[in-house]
Amino acid sequence: MRLDVEVNGVTLKYGAFEALHNISFRLESGKICGLVGRNGAGKTSLLSLLASFREPTAGSIRIGGEDPFENARIMPHVTFVYAEDLRGETENVQGMLEAAKRYRPHFDSGYAEELAQRFELPMNKPVHELSRGMQSALNVTIGLASRSPVTIFDEAYLGMDAPTRELFYRELLDDQARHPRTVILSTHLVSEMDYLFDEVIILHKGKLVLHEGYEDLIGKGASVTGPSKAVDEFVKGMKQLHAQQLGDTKSVVVYGKIADETRLAARERQLDIGPVSLQDLFIHLTSEEE
């Protein structure tokens, strides 16, 4: 089942505060999209709209061509995994998995049990007695095993240690290859997770900074390093995100495609053109105003 996601001119206000302003993008089914932004950028607000926890103040959202809000045809096919407060949850792990199956038509119980074993989840233990990392592993298990056409993970790794996070990433890629769907990953761990992304959305202060394919985005960033005067002359007219200098050596991060002939000219000037990571681009693109 393919469900594309379309967001058109969406604005969300909480009273007088505008959490999102005129957001528009389209996600095609079968891809993993990384949703990146600083604290307070509006990531969770956007995801709560996609999950139909609330309606936008203005604009429209379409999932599979339909408005998902209170839509019984669409909402069973959307799973939203987020950090919940489960201190009062007395149900055990087995019961939580069984409950998930009742409400998610694509849920694979066999896969859920495999994941529970890999994450070393104690099936008969009450959820409120689990550590935070174990609770996150349970949420991730439900999210993956649901195999919903639209699956949203809002910083679902909270509390997990590094090996457990790596297991989550590996399972996500493997199961996405077997059962493609629209996956949205909201994260602060950009450098750790960027290899998962087919597309990237960057939000800043409630506005859309960009929505691009991961490879296209990375290809637009470059660091230019060399003698200060030569670097300044080379980057003149380019969009400069960041600069630092040590003695006469200067490095400038630029954003925009650099043609092959321009790269050749840089080498002739003894300038080094290097790659820039998604995390570096994210930091510089969202600190520009500051």
Is residue 10 within 8 A of residue 59, CB to CB? The reply is: yes
Q: Say how many CA atoms lie within 13 Å of 37 toward its Cβ.
A: 26
Helix axes 162-178, 109-118, angle to 10 degrees: 160
Q: Report which DSSP code applies to 126.
A: B
Which CATH number fits the domain 220-287, given the four candidates 3.30.70, 3.40.190, 3.40.50, 2.30.42?
Answer: 3.30.70
Is residue 284 within 8 A of residue 257, CB to CB? The reply is: no
Query: What per-residue string of b and e applies to 218-238 under the rule 16 or more CB within 10 Å gives b?
Result: bebbbbbbbebebbeebbeee
Cα(195)–Cα(34) distance, integer angstroms: 10
The fold of the 5-213 domain, in CATH, is: Rossmann fold (3.40.50)
> Model pTM?
0.90
> What pLDDT is recorded for position 99?
94
Q: Which helix (H) or strand (E) holds 223?
A: strand 221-227
Burial class (CB in 10 A: 0-12, 13-18, 19+), 181: buried
Domain extents in the chain: 5-213, 220-287
Given the DSSP bridges, would you call strands 207-213 and 182-187 parallel, antiparallel or unpaired?
A: unpaired
What string of pLDDT tens digits covers the 290 residues of the chain? 889 999 999 999 999 999 999 999 999 999 999 999 999 999 999 999 999 999 999 999 999 999 999 999 999 999 999 988 787 888 999 999 999 999 999 999 999 999 999 999 999 999 999 999 999 999 999 999 999 999 999 998 888 999 999 999 999 999 999 999 999 999 988 999 999 999 999 999 999 999 999 999 998 889 999 999 999 999 999 989 889 999 999 999 999 888 888 889 888 888 999 999 999 899 888 875 44
Cα(234)–Cα(45) distance, integer angstroms: 41
Pull the structure tokens for residue 15.
């009273």
Pull the structure tokens for residue 195.
């290899």
Coarse DSSP helix, strand, coil percentages of the chain, rounded to the nearest 5 percent: 35, 30, 30
